[in-house]
Chains A and B, each alone.
Chain A
């Protein structure tokens, strides 16, 4: 069953926390992956890969650059699950 936006955010926060060491509550919708969370393009690919596995979605490499904020990723994953 598809996860709600809230569930996707919670799951994504765990993945980001695992990759970066940041607390999960730092991962909120309006945060930018690069500017606020200091996540570079390689770490972003690790996060995307784990998100693909966790939410059973496919995120093509060319789409990753459009995921600027946590909210962008949550929205993308939620739509991709639908």
Chain B
């Protein structure tokens, strides 16, 4: 008897983002609210980062709570229910449990059980990583409708006296439903990492220090701001350009550019390096939301759509970059 040839699923031509949902922390935190412990001022923070306010969640709100709020909005936008979702991916670095995954709990909350569910850790590049994974899963036939969420409660990992990163950070979640499409709605993902720069952004100490060093305390986040600025501003522009090239489009053919909302000055430098025409709308949600890591790209995109600055079908170049160091970029058709 001959060995049978394994059957493969039928595969769609492409995938696309069908909808986006957003959840921002309920509290507006001004620069004046946080300037004291870092001996700073509203003017310095605005000049340094472009941030006017950031949104932070209440103490009892979790990463999964934020994820659920964004996910429900995305499901409604896609005209689907949880039962239609067969895969859930949550990107987060601020979920308190290493196991079980936030994605499994989220899947259950939205009625998506028994969807495949897992978390990914790609920090501020997490949403773009999730888009890349979802696109590949849908196009391979491994999934039909994938719910992806970038969710962070960064305020649980800040040190009010830290001048390197804490003052940038906000809380929120952005969700998207990715499904099959007759025409490609997600271009090739250009992604990578550079672990030699792992020390550029990360925790003050690893969790095991809390066992070995009794006074280590709760870890908070730190970054080497100038080094990260240089890397993000000048090494990420060529990555974004490669995503345009891979999708077969030029800068004058896209309608929006949504980089990770790390710092307004990085955004401005990327625009300059990419020589984007003035017709391209720029995601600048950081001004009032702060840096929400994996949530920042979908939150900024949701805002552009909600405010009517872009419309369904427009092409958006998005790029995430952050701790790892890791990065990912792709061109998407907006839902």
Q: Chain A: residues with CB nearer than 8 A to chain B?
A: 40-42, 44-46, 48-49, 61, 64
Distance in angstroms between the alpha carbons of A76 and B149 in the assembled complex:
47
Q: Which residue of A lies closest to B269 (CB)?
A: A46
Task: Enumerate the 3 nearest inter-chain pairs by beta-carbon distance, A residue then B residue, closest first.
Answer: A45-B230, A41-B226, A61-B227
Contact B48 A42, beta carbon cutoff 8 Å? yes
B224 contacts A by Cβ under 8 Å: yes
Contact A42 B265, beta carbon cutoff 8 Å? yes
Contact B48 A46, beta carbon cutoff 8 Å? no
Q: Chain B: residues with CB nearer than 8 A to chain A?
A: 48, 224-227, 229-230, 233-234, 263, 265, 269
**Given A40-B48, A42-B265; A61-B234 close (CB under 8 Å):** no
Contact A64 B234, beta carbon cutoff 8 Å? no
Contact B230 A48, beta carbon cutoff 8 Å? yes
Q: List 28 A-B contacts (CB under 8 A).
A: A40-B48, A41-B225, A41-B226, A41-B229, A42-B48, A42-B225, A42-B226, A42-B229, A42-B263, A42-B265, A44-B226, A45-B226, A45-B227, A45-B229, A45-B230, A45-B233, A46-B230, A46-B233, A46-B269, A48-B230, A49-B230, A49-B233, A49-B234, A61-B224, A61-B226, A61-B227, A61-B230, A64-B226
Q: Which of B48, B224, B225, B229 has the most CB of A within 10 A?
A: B229
Chain A residues contacting B224 (CB-CB under 8 Å) are 61
Distance in angstroms between the alpha carbons of A48 and B269 in the assembled complex:
14
Distance in angstroms between the alpha carbons of A25 and B58 in the assembled complex:
53
Q: Which of A40, A44, A61 has the most CB of B within 10 A?
A: A61
Q: Which of B226, B227, B233 has the most CB of A within 10 A?
A: B226
Distance in angstroms between the alpha carbons of A40 and B227 in the assembled complex:
13
Chain A residues contacting B227 (CB-CB under 8 Å) are 45, 61
